[in-house]
Amino acid sequence: MKKLIWISLFIPFFGKAQFKIVNISTTNLLELRQDTWPINLQKITKATDTSYVLSFRTQEYTNAKIMKTLRFGSLEQLKYFQKGLSTLKTGNTGDVAEFRDYTIKRVDLNKKEGVWYTLTFDGGLTNFQQMEADQMIAAINKL
């Protein structure tokens, strides 16, 4: 009987150790597109950690809705992304900014369509125009 009482006293402590409450806050920094080909830049804040996420629907497959999430572990990594976009803005067609996990390529189609960028990450890719790149640069500059 004494053993049952001791066990019943310690069970709540063991059960409590199995659960961990984590406060997570997600802030939308920039929503470039919503409809068919969304691109979102978000800030994710946990108790002691802040990361940034660029999520987009891959344009490789038109019949599948596959979302990719490019995670930046720190503000410094996000600033490197911004520097890549800024450098490509002053570059020429075919210029590529290569990073460890992703690449950004500048493509000048013609004067009417302007400058486009192709972001390739983890088997997925998305395209965006200079105006959208400028919006990303401005949003990152505010941080």
According to the model, what pLDDT value does residue 48 have?
Answer: 83
- Quote the tokens at residue 46: 């946990």
According to the model, what pLDDT value does residue 14 have?
Answer: 56
According to the model, what pLDDT value does residue 3 have?
Answer: 63
pLDDT per residue of the chain (143 residues) written in tens, 0 to 9: 566 565 665 555 555 555 566 678 899 999 998 888 899 999 999 878 899 999 999 988 878 888 999 999 999 999 999 999 999 999 999 999 999 999 999 999 877 788 999 999 988 899 999 999 999 999 999 98
Residue of 124, 99, 104 whose CA lies nearest to 115: 104
For the chain, the structural domain boundaries read 23-141
Q: What are phi and psi of 89, to 5 degrees?
A: -60, -35
Whole-number Å distance between alpha carbons of 4 and 1: 5
According to the model, what pLDDT value does residue 130 have?
Answer: 93
Residue of 59, 39, 36, 32 whose CA lies nearest to 126: 59
The second-level CATH assignment, the architecture, of 23-141 is: 2-Layer Sandwich (3.30)
Instruction: Give the global pTM.
Output: 0.80
